[in-house]
Each structure stands twice: as structure tokens, then as C-alpha cells.
Amino acid sequence: MLALPEAQACVMDALMLHSRGAAAAALLRPTAVPSAQQRLQIYRNNLFESLIAALGGVYPVVARLVGAGFFRHAAKAYIRAHPSRSGNLHDFGGELPGFLHAYQPAASLPYLPDVAALEWAYHRAYHEAELPALELARLTEVPIADQAELRFHLQPSARFVASRYPVLKIWQANQPQAQDSGSTISLDEGGVNLLVVQWDLEIEFRFLSIAESRWLCALADGASLAEATQDALDNDPAFDLATTLARHLGRGLFTGVSLPRTLRKRVRT
Amino acid sequence: MNQPLRQLPPRAGIGLRPEHYVDFVESRPPVGFIEAHSENYFGRGGKPLHYLMLARRDYPLSLHGVGLSIGSVDPLSEPHLQRLSELIDTLEPSLVSEHLCWSSVGGIYANDLLPLPYTEEALSHVVSRVQQVHERLRRSILLENVSSYLEYAQSAMPEWEFLCEVAKRSGCGILLDVNNIFVSAHNHGFDAMQYLHAIPRAAVQEIHLAGFTRNPIEEGVEILIDTHSAPVADAVWAVYGVALERFGPVPTLIEWDADLPPLSTLVAEAWKADSMLETHHACAA
């Protein structure tokens, strides 16, 4: 008789197809029909079907682009390579963009991993909280001498997606309500830098210039205003800080500012 | 939140599902309470939490978890408990429930409700886990019996005895899923009535009803699968009637999660349960 830890490991191995299930089948009360293997197969189906459905829910455009049969096949391989690691099904599937990148059968669709990245960003942004926007008045409280050291806090939903392909167009053309315009999307028409963010409960896509994207990504990673701006200027000497800052302030992307501990005492609260 | 309704009334409720968010808050159907799957609100906002908070203003809430994996030998997930605890503070649910099952090994999740072997070892494990959860959440929870498609050779007691012992030793309540009893009774060849009559009257604080699917294995043999994708079967309504006689008018949830019908169909199922509850309420009074 196996103790509980071994019994659970044995059953999980059988369900995840790490074993043929002989050891797990031996744990079951013997029955003729359905056999122990058939009983395990019911659970195996439940596991794979519910995870495939979860992936389909997060990645409807990827599924539509490759077709249902291909998607199921890829999803099964994904589940085995990147099993669920959370009791919350909404956490499942985040490695699909990277997985598709290396997935040979999808190699003829080079934009597919980026479409997946866009869908994952949408999915995560959808469930995030929206915080009140930072007000300009709060910025003016910071002494001018310290402003270069400011750290900007972004909406928790903010995600960045960069692609060499027109992934937003592809995504939009594959929405259920999309009209078939009859025109085709040229993969050569150029890439996009996108900010995905929740605003008034809806998910918005905002196009960014490369320098703007560098600036925001640096801020999101905790860089100071000076560091992020240098990053942007390195990319594009014409980067216009004042306009860019005003644009994102005006659209509620920032939710707060802070200063490193050494400078904090100088900020009025 | 303005004066949240704290107790579930002895009426029928329905699950609040994303497809029905707008319809639900606009039409405010006459149901006794709503149920929400905890994990669907683990993200800290967006439409899911927005609509649940709107609905919560007018309806008592039962918060039902599917992913805590109480029966696993893995350590309980602290981030999961943390988020559940925050959600409880935000939503002030009348009841918080989980399943009598396991779903993870070594951090890998099946995201399914896997049955336990009903042994003394598993019993003391589950009891200590429920106690940990009670301490962490600073409240008691209900445990729900799951549908199952396999039994372990080493089980030393029937499921109903295991469930009752867990409740007795840990102090948790029971969320009795009448459909799951019916499904498991069919799949394993036990008597659903024996199950019902083994459960102490006072332990049952909520009842679940759902639809199942018949899965043919071979000529003349079928396994029932708890799919939550159909109306409650007539035979399950009959077992529900017996359950009401035994347990009195207990708040009852209609579960329908897959192939979701229009909200009105779900509400009509709830009314059916309500009319049976009223009969028993009248009897009890």
C-alpha cells in the first residue's frame, strides 16, 4: 500500500502522460468495465480538455489563425512542456509565446508568437486593477533639483508588446466582430510597439514610437526619469520628454511617483 | 460596501458567470444569492471584479474555490491563501467553500478535482489542512464532496464517512453536492440514499445542483461525468427532494458552467429549486 504522497505522485504521472499509468492503475479498486486504465483516461481527458479550453480562452486569435485541430495539437504539447503551476487557471499559459517561437510545426507563421504575446498581455491586463491617475499637481510638489530622480509608477495593467509584424492589425482582423474587408495584411508593412493597458474597464492598445517605448519600459522597470530619458535619447536624439510625459499623464498611465529613500525627506507629502 | 447581506437565505441561487455579467446587473433576477468562483477574481480588478462588486450590493454571496488543493500533500499555497483572504475582506461573503479533493503534486496542477483515497492517513492530513485554512482565513469553510470516476483499493471507509469525519474533526461545514452524490453513486455502484442518510443534519450549510453528461464506455455501461453543462436531471431533483426532507430548507445553488444557457434559463432552474425549498420551508415552519 502506498502512502498518500506516493499515491498522488503516481496518479499525477499517469494523468500527465509521464508514465503509462500501470502503477496508478494498480492503486485503483479493480473493476471490469470501465477498467482502471479507462477510469484514469477519463481524468486524463478532463485535465487536457480543461487546460486546452483555458488556452483557447486566452488565445482565441492564435487558435483562429492555426485552426482548431492544429491548436489542440500544439496545446497538448504545450501542456506537457509547461504544465500548470497554479490553482488559478488564469495563471496558466504565459509561456505560450516562447513555446510557439520554438515550435517547429508553426515555423511558417513567424508572427504567431507575437500575436500570442499580445493576447497574453490582453489577458493579464483584463484582470488587473485600475488605479487613480497621477495628477500633475503631485509632480509640482517635487523640488526641481530632485525631478531627475523621480520613479514613475504605471497602471498595474500596463504591458508592452513589440513586434516586427503588424500584430495589432492581425489581432483586430481576427476578432469575432471583425468585418472581412477583403484586403490582406502585408507582413512587410512594418512592426509595432504597443502599450496594452486597461482604461475605464476596457483594454486599450496605444501605439508607441521606439524611443517612447524604451522610455516607458525603463520607467516600468524602476529606472529614474533621468535614466529612462537617457535610454530614449540614445535611441532617438529627437525624443521629446515634455510632450511624451504630458501625453501619458493625460491618459492616466501613471499612478504615482516616488523618490529613492535618500531624497524622500525632501518631498512634501 | 453598504450593509452587505450577511447570510444566505434558504433559497436558490445561481453562479455569476462572465457571459452573464451585464445581463445580471441590468436585470437583477429574483434569485436568493449568487456564487462566484474565487479564483476568477484573483486578478485585482477589471470587469470581473467590477461586476461582482455591483452584484454583491444586492445579493448575498457564496465564494466557492476550485484551486486550493486541500487534499494535496504539497504545502498549501500561501499566495493563493493570501489572495483568497483579501477577497474575503473585500466581498464579505456569507460562505466560503472548497472541495474535498486534491489537484497538485510538486507544484504541478491538474486544475481538476481529484478524489482522495479514504484512509486514516488522508483523513488526518485533510483535517490538519482544513485547520490551517481556518486559521489563515480566520473563519471556517465548507467542504464539498466531488464527483469521482475512480476509487482507490486502499480506501478503508466510504466517502460519506470520510466527509463526516473531516467535518467533525476539523469543524468545517459541508457543502453537499447532490448531483455529485448521484454521479458517484452511479459510477461506483453505491446507494445515494445511504450517502444522504449518513450526513449529520446540522452539518449541511449549502447544497449544489448541476447537470451531468452520460459517457458510454461500452455496450450497456456508461459513466456519468459532472460537466455542469446541462439542466439538473429528473433523478437528481428526486434525490434533492429527499435531501430537503432530511436537511430542511438549505440554500441551494444551481451550477451551470459549460455550454452556458441564457441567464433566464438559469433563473428558471433556480425557481424550480425555490419551489421545492418553499414546500419544505412550509413543512418546517
- Residues contacting residue B38 through CB under 8 Å, at least 6 positions apart: B63, B64, B65, B66, B67, B84, B87, B96
User: What average pLDDT does the segment B74-81 reach?
Assistant: 98
Residue A242 contacts B, CB cutoff 8 Å: no
User: What average pLDDT does the segment B65-88 reach?
Assistant: 98
Q: Which of A262, A249, A252, A253 is nearest to A140 (CA)?
A: A249
Minimum distance, in Å, between the CA of residue B215 and any CA atom of chain A: 10
Reply yes or no on whether the pLDDT at B284 is more than 70. Answer: no
User: What average pLDDT does the segment A18-43 reach?
Assistant: 94
CATH code of the region A110-269: 3.90.930.50
Shortest CA distance from A30: residue in chain B: B153
Minimum distance, in Å, between the CA of residue B231 and any CA atom of chain A: 20
Candidate from A259-268, B4-13, B152-161, B230-239 with smallest mean pLDDT: A259-268
Reply yes or no on whether the pLDDT at A69 is more than 60. Answer: yes
Higher pLDDT, A181 or B255: B255
Residue A84 contacts B, CB cutoff 8 Å: yes
Candidate from A55-64, A138-147, A214-223, B70-79 with smallest mean pLDDT: A138-147
- Mean pLDDT rounded to a whole number for chain B: 95
Reply yes or no on whether the pLDDT at B132 is more than 70. Answer: yes
Residues in B 166-185 with any Cβ partner in A closer than 8 A: none
The verdict on a CB contact (< 8 Å) between B149 and A39 is yes
Residue A2 contacts B, CB cutoff 8 Å: yes
A-chain CB neighbours of B117 within 8 Å are 4, 7, 27
Q: Is A199 helix (H, G, I), strand (E, B) or coil?
A: strand
Q: What confidence score (pLDDT) does residue A264 get?
A: 61
Percent of chain B with pLDDT over 90: 93
Grid cell at residue A16: 500527465
Which domains does chain B carry? 12-284 (3.20.20.150)
A-chain CB neighbours of B153 within 8 Å are 27-30
The verdict on a CB contact (< 8 Å) between A198 and B45 is yes
Going A224 to A227 to A228 to A233, the CA torsion angle's sign is positive
- Residues contacting residue A77 through CB under 8 Å, at least 6 positions apart: A99, A103
Domain with CATH 3.90.930.50 in chain A: 110-269
User: What average pLDDT does the segment A11-19 reach?
Assistant: 93
Kind plus residue range of the DSSP H or E element containing A264: helix A261-264
pLDDT band per the 50, 70, 90 thresholds, residue B1: very low
Q: What confidence score (pLDDT) does residue B3 get?
A: 47
- Mean pLDDT rounded to a whole number for chain A: 94
Residue A19 contacts B, CB cutoff 8 Å: no
State the Cα–Cα distance between residues A115 and A17, nearest whole angstrom. Answer: 29
B-chain CB neighbours of A9 within 8 Å are 105-106
- Residues contacting residue A221 through CB under 8 Å, at least 6 positions apart: none
The verdict on a CB contact (< 8 Å) between A126 and B46 is yes
Residues in B 78-117 with any Cβ partner in A closer than 8 A: 80, 102-112, 114, 116-117
A-chain CB neighbours of B114 within 8 Å are 8, 11, 43
Minimum distance, in Å, between the CA of residue B264 and any CA atom of chain A: 24
Residue B52 contacts A, CB cutoff 8 Å: no
The CA dihedral of A114, A115, A121, A127, to the nearest 10 degrees, is -160
User: What average pLDDT does the segment B260-284 reach?
Assistant: 91
